[in-house]
Amino acid sequence: MSKGGSDTMHITFWGTRGSISTPGSSTEKYGGNTSCISLQHADTTIILDAGTGIRNLGIDLFNQLKQNNIPLKLHLFLSHTHWDHIQGLPFFVPAYLKGVQLAIYGSPKKEAFLESILQRQMDVNYFPVEMNALAADISINEISEEKLNIGGLTIDWQEQVYHPGGCVRYRFTVGNKKAVYATDVELDKMFDQRNKTSKSKSLQKEYLKFIHSADLLIADGQYTTEEYPTKIGYGHTSIPLIIETAYQQKVKQLAIFHHEPQHSDSMLDKLCSQFTQKYASKDPPMTVFWAREGMTIPV
């Protein structure tokens, strides 16, 4: 499963949509599945969130298992437990296979409720198969260490309070390469000058330091400037703000992620053309792109 140089991470998007899955002809290009990303470094497989996109990732991993007959050791990091980030887990084929190791990580602020939240999703009233039917060796871990080391990866994390119910952002470092996953955070509220407090200034500083000089930042950009005023408090960021913030923090590549369900392929194309060339022509340039299902980015 290794894919290249010792310091190379390969990030693949399996689900890029926010809030609810949106299958149909108008979302074929960027995809209609909800949040799921895989990160591959050498023989280490990291999964970020378990929205509906994890189903196709599971099929791909199952096919690799049949072909290579190498035991699967998987690490699933949940940003939070809203439906669009966990609802694909009951359809994740490797979770039903004996011999597969699946470690699930989430916020310690769930106070021992992380496991029960995942179990309740598979209650017989909501789903025909209960969680105890999953045959894989599954461990559910509330993160306690400031940093984790898995394979050759160092993983930092921070709580994001500007999202209803909370959320976690993750940074993956190998050698001098950094990839950051920071979805579901309302930066417009964090950086709102009208409500400036010592706490908000501290949270701003933490966020900016966390994403600074990332080789790839995968970030929530759900709303246009025009849409945001009617979505205040929903926990998502306006597109121009995340792009300019990333640029000021010297991010090299920015993936706009967690697309609004109402945004069609044609609208996302227009948004992409509006910002991509603008930031590519700056000095220094920054690569901005809209994440698409099936896209793989080497970092």
Instruction: Name the phi and psi angles at 70, rounded to 5.
Output: -105, 125
Neighbours of 209 (CB within 10 A): 11
pTM to 2 decimals? 0.95
Q: Where are the domains of the chain?
A: 10-298
CATH architecture of the domain formed by 10-298? 4-Layer Sandwich (3.60)
Nearest to 186 by CA among 129, 138, 258, 254: 258
Nearest to 119 by CA among 109, 107, 129, 108: 129
The pLDDT of residue 2 is: 42
Q: What is the pLDDT along the chain (299 residues), one digit of tens a residue?
A: 444 457 899 999 999 999 999 999 999 999 999 999 999 999 999 999 999 999 999 999 999 999 998 889 999 999 999 999 999 999 999 999 999 999 999 998 765 568 888 888 998 888 999 888 899 999 999 898 889 999 999 999 999 999 999 999 999 999 999 999 999 999 999 999 887 888 889 999 999 999 999 999 999 999 999 999 999 999 999 999 999 999 999 999 999 999 999 999 999 999 999 999 999 999 999 999 999 999 999 99
The pLDDT of residue 7 is: 86
The pLDDT of residue 114 is: 80
Neighbours of 250 (CB within 10 A): 12
Cis-peptide, bond into residue 298, ω within 30° of zero: no
The pLDDT of residue 293 is: 98
Nearest to 244 by CA among 203, 189, 288: 288
Q: Where are the beta strands (DSSP E) in 229-286?
A: 253-257
> How far is it, in rounded angstroms, from Cα 48 to Cα 86?
10
Let me know if 220 is exposed, middle or buried by CB neighbors in 10 A (0-12, 13-18, 19+): buried
> How far is it, in rounded angstroms, from Cα 299 to Cα 287?
13
The bridge status of strand 253-257 relative to strand 287-290 is: parallel
